[in-house]
Structure 1
Amino acid sequence: MIQDTPALLDAIRARFAHVDSCPFQGPRIFFENAGGALTLNTVVQTSAKFAALPDNPGRINPAGQGLQAIIDKAKADLAVFMNAPGGQFFAGESGTELLFRLIRTACVNAPIGAKVIGSSIEHPASRSAARRWAGIAGLDYVNVPHDNTTGRTTPEDYAARMTPDVAVATILHGSPVTGMAMDVAGISAAIRAVSPDCLIIVDGIQHAAHGQLDLGAYDVDGYAISPYKVFSRHGYGIAWISDRFGKVPHDMLIDAPATGWEFGTRDAGSYATMSDVIDYFDWLGGEVSDATDRRDRIEAAGRAIHDYETHLTNAMINGTGNLPGLRDMDHITILAGADNPAREGLVSIVVAGRASEDVVEALNQQGIRTHTRKADHYSGNVLTPLGLTDCIRVSLCHYNTEGEVAQLLAALKDMAPES
């Protein structure tokens, strides 16, 4: 696997821009991946290439037809990458914008007096949209409380609050605050056991970079990602919707195709960069397995990414070399516990006696990029119940190294209060 093959890790890191240095800061360790992952070099090159093209996709000329073919290929690549059972992919302004659009459409088409269910662990991208449009559409919003100890929501939590009149459901796949993944397939099954026709929409923005996307196993109707968090670039989001969701009345131009969900001229370059991302997963899967089928290689890449990131977070929590781990530092508190198998490449901590902003700045001065999460409209739903005003988020990806983890541990160890 990745941790056992230094040459492979070197090859992985060589494929990303600014892997160990920042053009503004100089040398740095990047532990801010949940805020936006590193960008593939191929994505940078593709973006520049397509930014220069003046033609519109689909026009009856060689450039227009060529650009449309690139968009069509990217959608086919996405279907393999996410194992989509039919349905359609389309781009929007961002993952958040797409979630609002999907949830709005689901809510305004639900029967008056029906219910919308969602969890308190959700990012406001889905939670805000669901609460807003439930109110506008005359629907009751049902909140599923998350477990403060584990930092997640379970199928059993949803099942306890499900009723047959739930028409819309939202699920968070991975939390950008606790770092925990939810059992999307299990939650979906719990919802459908009570309300089979419920429209289920998933926020996959945090989860996507950690691999193992499988729409065929989830039995949901909508799934959104933000490509800049999965090795592409800013400026667009990608959504998938099921065939039945695609037929629901939605925002569209008069007399436009009834199942069309895209607006305006598409940026072929954004789609092309998704093909670059999927090609990368395909390449990595070929390095860590003998699989010949593309989907099999992508699944192998996802497993390798998950295993290596677990190795890195375990090193962070339990220690590496002669350095103690976070669990052994009395001045460090780990959100959602040290032993949590649902963790995906993210550890949030609090340093006793120090404001998180000050810790993040001190780490930044040593070239270690992390991030402060505050009990605001983004993270208050998780931090406030814990009695916290803020925390430090350390988020990694499979291109990070155990040596980088060791530098973080050394810096945090030195922040212990003098006895």
Structure 2
Amino acid sequence: MSAFPPELLSEVRARFAHVEECPFTGPRVFFENAGGALTLKSVAETSARFAAIPDNQGRDNPASAELMRVIATARADMMRLLNAPGGQIVVGESGTEMLFRMIRTACMAAPGGGQVLGSTLEHPASRSAAAHWAGHAGLAHVLVPHDDATGTVGPEAYRAALTPETHVATIVHTSPVTGMGVDIAGVAAAIRQVAPDCVIVVDGIQHAAHGAIDLSEAGVDGYAISPYKMFSRHGYGVAWLSDRLAALPHECLVGGPAEQWELGTRDTGAYATLSDVVGYLDWLGGQVSGETGPRARLEAAAGAIHAHERALTDAMLFGADNLPGLDAMEQVRIVGGAQNPAREGLVCFWVEGKPSAEVVSALGAEGIRVHIRKDDHYSGNILGPLGQADCIRVSMCHYNSVAEVARFLSAMQSIAA
């Protein structure tokens, strides 16, 4: 059932830290990847190496020149990963902070009296930023409803609310609650048909670890990633800005470069770990294909990751190793439905008559780490319309195995009974 042969999956798992054991509790299955993916061992090594370097950027010495080279290489690697059509890569405090900065800049540069358009599927990071800065800019904040049955939102939903005065739009690439992807190129095209000058900002934080990103095809102006959810580490966020968005009035030092978005000295080690992630994906693309071009290998890796994770979610939903899947368990209800082609490595469900916290705790006792989602400011936009107080999120990545899924299903037989 796995897209990866056993030998390759073993090689993949060997490149990540703490695949099979928690450093605090011992052996466990890690199905909490949406909360933060496992970290590449190379990322940990790179972080330690750069943390010890005393030299700073922008100085006239060989060490400083090397730091600047590392940063330039990382920016080029990220542009290749995103297939970005020009623009620039910016590092900040977090993915959420980068969303706030891009949305704030777009709103404050927009003519008053129009609207900021988003959807109810979005994470509170983009929804909160849009609501806050729309108010300050004299813009209406309009949210189109997502489809509760499928757990996603499409171009037609956006199209119904568009006007020529839609000055800013936000899109989530993948929901961290439903696990369903969004056709960002289709949504962006629908927006451009009615409001061609609209600034479009995408939250790619959940999607980045699970599928391809092609900003040349997407037709958007901004894209944010949280690297700790893409095999790197905490402590920074990354954004791509189109030339048009980057040129809008924004905070920068008086007398400094007008195009500068980064405030203060950034961590060279953070940039260097981006190259570690891209290098890993390049290696994986070479293992699963005969591609030789750098971008082609990244596309091959993304396709293989998506296929492997589809095998994992299908096993979880429909069964593995002669164990019935969640879809066959009478008391289990699956967010977005079991048959959903938009799913990306994540299954959310609840068990009728059993508190989700109890299910999470019972799975934890079996050495399986998952997470509860509640009807709160993080997930209420999804759970509220379903009339559900909470659910269990099981989030996987391409280094997980069907054997781990079978272990989960075995535990769920008694838990859901």
Conserved in 2, the CA contact under 8 Å of 1:2 and 1:9? no
* CA root-mean-square deviation: 0.9
Conserved in 1, the CA contact under 8 Å of 2:211 and 2:302? yes
Percent identity for Structure 1 against Structure 2 = 61
Aligned to 1:372: 372
Aligned to 2:314: 314
Question: Deviations along 1:320-347, whole A, 9 cap, x unmatched?
Answer: 1210010000011100000000000000
Aligned to 2:23: 23
Aligned to 2:238: 238
Question: Deviations along 1:371-415, whole A, 9 cap, x unmatched?
Answer: 000010100010000001100000000000000000111111111
Distance in structure 2 (CA, Å) of the matches to 1:255 and 1:195: 34
Aligned to 1:273: 273
Matches within 5 A, 1:212-361: 212-361=212-361
Distance in structure 2 (CA, Å) of the matches to 1:292 and 1:383: 45
Aligned to 2:157: 157
In the TM superposition, what is the alpha-carbon distance from 1:2 to its structure 2 partner? Answer: 5.6
Aligned to 1:144: 144
In the TM superposition, what is the alpha-carbon distance from 1:143 to its structure 2 partner? Answer: 1.1
Distance in structure 1 (CA, Å) of the matches to 2:115 and 2:66: 45
Conserved in 2, the CA contact under 8 Å of 1:2 and 1:304? no
Conserved in 2, the CA contact under 8 Å of 1:16 and 1:41? yes
**CA gap 1:130/1:64 in 2 versus in 1, 3 angstroms:** same
Aligned to 1:82: 82
Distance in structure 2 (CA, Å) of the matches to 1:5 and 1:391: 33
SS in 1 for 2:55: coil
Distance in structure 2 (CA, Å) of the matches to 1:246 and 1:189: 21
Conserved in 2, the CA contact under 8 Å of 1:181 and 1:342? yes
What amino acid sits opposite 2:288 in the alignment?
Answer: V
Aligned to 1:177: 177
Is 2:48 the counterpart of 1:48? Answer: yes
Question: Deviations along 1:56-99, whole A, 9 cap, x unmatched?
Answer: 11211111111011000000000111101000001000000110
Question: Deviations along 1:254-275, whole A, 9 cap, x unmatched?
Answer: 1111111111011000000000
Distance in structure 1 (CA, Å) of the matches to 2:54 and 2:361: 43
Q: Which runs of 4+ in 1 moved over 6 A?
A: none
Distance in structure 2 (CA, Å) of the matches to 1:142 and 1:416: 40
What amino acid sits opposite 1:142 in the alignment?
Answer: V
TM-score (norm 1): 0.99
Question: Deviations along 1:173-225, whole A, 9 cap, x unmatched?
Answer: 00000000000000000000000000000000000001301111100000000
What amino acid sits opposite 2:251 in the alignment?
Answer: D
What amino acid sits opposite 1:350 in the alignment?
Answer: W
In the TM superposition, what is the alpha-carbon distance from 1:3 to its structure 2 partner? Answer: 3.0
Distance in structure 2 (CA, Å) of the matches to 1:382 and 1:416: 23
Conserved in 2, the CA contact under 8 Å of 1:28 and 1:368? yes
Aligned to 2:94: 94
What amino acid sits opposite 2:174 in the alignment?
Answer: G
Distance in structure 1 (CA, Å) of the matches to 2:233 and 2:277: 10
In the TM superposition, what is the alpha-carbon distance from 1:416 to its structure 2 partner? Answer: 3.1
Conserved in 1, the CA contact under 8 Å of 2:2 and 2:402? no
Distance in structure 2 (CA, Å) of the matches to 1:393 and 1:79: 32
What amino acid sits opposite 2:160 in the alignment?
Answer: A
**CA gap 1:65/1:388 in 2 versus in 1, 3 angstroms:** same
Distance in structure 2 (CA, Å) of the matches to 1:60 and 1:137: 43
Distance in structure 2 (CA, Å) of the matches to 1:236 and 1:410: 38
Distance in structure 2 (CA, Å) of the matches to 1:415 and 1:282: 41
In the TM superposition, what is the alpha-carbon distance from 1:129 to its structure 2 partner? Answer: 0.4
Distance in structure 2 (CA, Å) of the matches to 1:199 and 1:29: 41
Distance in structure 1 (CA, Å) of the matches to 2:55 and 2:416: 59
Distance in structure 2 (CA, Å) of the matches to 1:258 and 1:299: 34
Question: Deviations along 1:129-173, whole A, 9 cap, x unmatched?
Answer: 001110111101111100000001101110111000000000000
What amino acid sits opposite 1:43 in the alignment?
Answer: V
Distance in structure 1 (CA, Å) of the matches to 2:51 and 2:42: 14
Is 2:71 the counterpart of 1:59? Answer: no
In the TM superposition, what is the alpha-carbon distance from 1:22 to its structure 2 partner? Answer: 0.4
What amino acid sits opposite 1:35 in the alignment?
Answer: G
Distance in structure 2 (CA, Å) of the matches to 1:172 and 1:314: 24
Conserved in 2, the CA contact under 8 Å of 1:2 and 1:8? no
Give the unaligned 5+ runs of structure 2: none
Aligned to 1:116: 116
Distance in structure 2 (CA, Å) of the matches to 1:143 and 1:211: 26
Q: How many residue pairs get matched?
A: 417
Is 2:398 the counterpart of 1:398? Answer: yes
